[in-house]
């Protein structure tokens, strides 16, 4: 049985030749360099925020991404801590417990105020999570857009030049005198 499996493995090995290198696509063969992939930048940034910006060689954006994540995380943690404290105080006051509690909100506020405080911090926690999600999506969109503009040609051969122009009107010079026309001159260079 083992002999048959070895023979089958040997036959399957020689049926399809194994290539050690991947064939380049046509754009790589013409230009000599790999095409920058927007899909890859998007996936990188979706898996680990900031890696799409690194793939696009926009290294200066990485601290901005992580500063935003850190700031929003701070607000999530802070608001959650206050929410838990307000919830604990509200549960204590609303159930009229008698055991001692180490929560300074119990002595300061009544039940209605504690309910309002609890709902306020719960709303802030939820809004912080929504802002975190939007920041994450913005990070992915930024990596995608930067990847699309990675190979965009921004050279001096592509210009739009706008300037004020003063021209004399040769038709009216003979009949009326010296008259000039003003306007805007637009020059497009490809």
pLDDT along the chain (190 residues), means of 10: 68 56 57 79 95 94 96 97 93 81 85 93 97 97 93 71 77 58 78
Q: Are residues 56 and 113 in the same domain?
A: yes
Query: What's the domain range around 141?
Result: 39-148
Does pTM surpass 0.75? no
pLDDT for 174: 55
Domains held by the chain: number: 2
- Tell me the C-alpha distance between 106 and 72, whole Å: 29
Q: Are residues 48 and 131 in the same domain?
A: yes
Q: Are residues 61 and 113 in the same domain?
A: yes
pLDDT for 23: 61
pLDDT for 139: 96
CB atoms within 10 A of CB 176: 9
Mutual angle of helices 111-148 and 38-47, in 10-degree steps: 150
């Amino acid at each position: 049985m083992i002999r048959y499996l070895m023979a089958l493995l040997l036959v399957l090995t020689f049926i399809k030749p194994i290539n050690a290198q991947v064939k380049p696509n046509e754009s790589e063969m013409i230009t000599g360099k790999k095409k920058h992939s927007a899909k890859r930048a998007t996936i990188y940034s979706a898996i680990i925020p900031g890696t799409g910006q690194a793939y696009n060689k926009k290294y200066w954006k990485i601290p901005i991404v992580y500063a935003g994540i850190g700031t929003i995380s701070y607000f999530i943690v802070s608001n959650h801590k206050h929410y838990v404290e307000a919830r604990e105080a509200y549960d204590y006051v609303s159930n009229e417990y008698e055991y001692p509690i180490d929560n300074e909100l119990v002595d300061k506020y009544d039940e209605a105020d504690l309910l309002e405080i609890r709902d306020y911090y719960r709303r802030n926690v939820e809004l912080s999570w929504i802002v975190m999600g939007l920041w994450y999506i913005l990070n992915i969109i930024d990596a995608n857009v930067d990847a699309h503009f990675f190979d965009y040609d921004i050279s001096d051969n592509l210009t739009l030049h706008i300037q004020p122009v003063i021209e004399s009107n040769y038709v009216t010079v003979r009949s009326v005198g010296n008259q000039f026309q003003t306007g805007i001159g637009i020059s497009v260079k490809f």
